[in-house]
Amino acid sequence: MKRSTERILTTHVGSLARSDSLTPLLRLREQAQPYDHEELARLVREAVTDAVQKQIEAGIDIVTDGEQSKASFFGYIIERFSGFQRKPPAPGKEMRPRSAGREYVSFPDYYAWSERIAEPFGGRSGGRGHGGVDTCTGPVSYRGHEAIQKDIDNLKAAVKGQAHEDVFVPAIASSYVASTFANEYYRTHEEYEQAISDAVREEYKAIVDAGFILQIDDPRLVSYYMMNPELSIEECRKWAAQRVEAINDSIRGIPPEKIRFHTCYSIDVGPRIHEMALKDIVDIMLKINAGAYSFEAANPRHEHEYHVFERVKLPDGKILIPGVISHTTNLVEHPELVAERIARFAKIVGRENVIAGADCGFAASALRFNDTHPSVAWLKFDALAEGARLATAELWK
């Protein structure tokens, strides 16, 4: 994994908007309806080439495929893993799980409005829930070898001959899948999680074997607190510590410098006053055997949390990838503000231990409403790169 040895490097979280031609095909596949496989493969290939090109032009150093082949950051599970089935939700579980969370209970009118205004643009859940919920009904195993190989080939072809520092590929954490999709097959949660870890590990290995950086996505690690109003911080910490063990099991044998970990809060824009503070989870997150950690730091609810690292020492060799641009607002961050945010972290943990990132993906789902317009995301990448240049000038002078 490259680090900011001579200048501040830039990256982002992964997802980028899918084109108007690609989205309908991704939707058909997501809904298990017939679609033109060759056409989808061609559109994805073109989209990856385009996404990589644009990232490099914008000044992103550590690039990715923009998750162009996936319906969402976790929505590919049912395609690539056996043992899952889409079923009608269990009685009493018809609502999206977040609806019972602290935020929704505190601001029911806001969230009802927020869902309503997103409806014409694909809604906030991207139609999830209409076709049922993904449920584990049999032994879990990985069957996505061909799909991940296609992703790898597309990305390799796209970056070939292009100036870049590194390439990363996001993949879902076993802990996220196990705590999001209902289990009707395994006797215990631990067995269920173990089975997913063993399966997802195959995807991880394929990514690392291809020479790419593996990014493990687990929003649930920090959003579990918001979603479970009955649990205390201490109980959520205990829960999270167990999830970290599962994640570590899923990456056993893979060198930490090949892995970066991303977490976030599962809600884009909203009041978000009930989120687990970084100070309450940072020690547990840092136990994940990864080389770098990506987290939200650019929005009004988490921007002050860089102070956490004044008290918590970043272990030697580790890298922070704080969000310095936000996926939740169409205002384009001023490069001087981006530089200020980078410098704050660099002055605490060391400039060589900071890579400038984003809070979360700009299109975490291809099928739902995302808060930032696609065109604006590219302006934000420009601002990110310019901010990193300004920060570099300040930090290396």
Task: Tell me which residues touch other proteins (CB under 8 A).
Answer: 107, 109-110, 113-114, 117-118, 120-121, 269-273, 298-304, 307, 325-326, 328-334, 336-337, 339-340, 369, 373, 375-376, 379, 383
CB of 113 to other proteins, least distance (A): 4
Q: In the complex, what is the shortest distance from the CB of residue 270 to other proteins, in angstroms, rounded to a whole number?
A: 6
Alpha carbon distances (Å) from 12 to 195, 231, 326: 30, 32, 10
Identify which of residues 153 and 336 has a Cβ nearer to other proteins in the complex. Answer: 336
- Spell out the residues 6+ positions from residue 136 whose beta carbon is closer than 8 angstroms to its own: 83, 84, 85, 181, 182, 183, 184, 185, 186, 192
Q: Considering beta carbons, is residue 250 or 299 the nearer one to other proteins?
A: 299
With beta carbons less than 8 A apart as the criterion, state whether 232 and 185 touch.
no
Closest separation in Å from C-beta 301 to other proteins: 5
Q: Quick one: 67 or 296, whose CB is closer to other proteins? A: 296
CA atoms within 13 A on the CB side of 396: 12
Distance CA 383, CA 261 (A): 24
CB of 119 to other proteins, least distance (A): 11
Sheet holding 292-295, edge to edge: 9-10, 355-358, 319-325, 292-295, 259-262, 213-217, 166-172, 62-63
- Minimum CB distance to other proteins, residue 356 (Å): 14
At 256, the amino acid letter reads P
Q: Which is nearer to other proteins, 104 or 176 (CB)?
A: 104
Q: Which is nearer to other proteins, 254 or 338 (CB)?
A: 338
Least distance to other proteins from the beta carbon of 366, Å?
14
Angle at 316 between CA 341 and CA 301, to 5 degrees: 30
Q: What is the H or E stretch that residue 351 is in?
A: none
- Length of the chain as a residue count: 397
Q: Measured from the CB atom, is 17 or 207 closer to other proteins? A: 17
| Rounded distance between C-alpha atoms, residue 162 and residue 56, angstroms | 8
- Least distance to other proteins, CB of residue 277, Å: 9
Virtual torsion, Cα 142, 265, 279, 337, nearest 10 deg? 120
d(CA 260, CA 83): 27
Report the nearest approach of other proteins to the CB of residue 114 (Å): 7
Query: Which of 2, 3, 12 minimizes the C-alpha distance to 323?
Result: 12
**Cβ closest to other proteins, residue 232 vs residue 330:** 330
Looking at beta carbons only, is 80 or 302 nearer to other proteins?
Answer: 302
Of the pair 61, 268, the CB lying nearest other proteins is at 268
Residue with the two structure tokens 């209970």: 105
CA distance 285 to 282: 5
Give the shortest CB-21-to-other proteins separation in angstroms.
Answer: 14
Cβ(274)–Cβ(222) below 8 Å: no
Of 102 and 201, which has the nearer Cβ to other proteins? 102
Distance CA 200, CA 171 (A): 8
Axis crossing angle, helix 22-30 with helix 37-58, rounded to the nearest 10? 130
Element (H, E) at 158: helix 145-159
CB 395, min distance to other proteins, A? 16
Amino acid letter for position 190: E
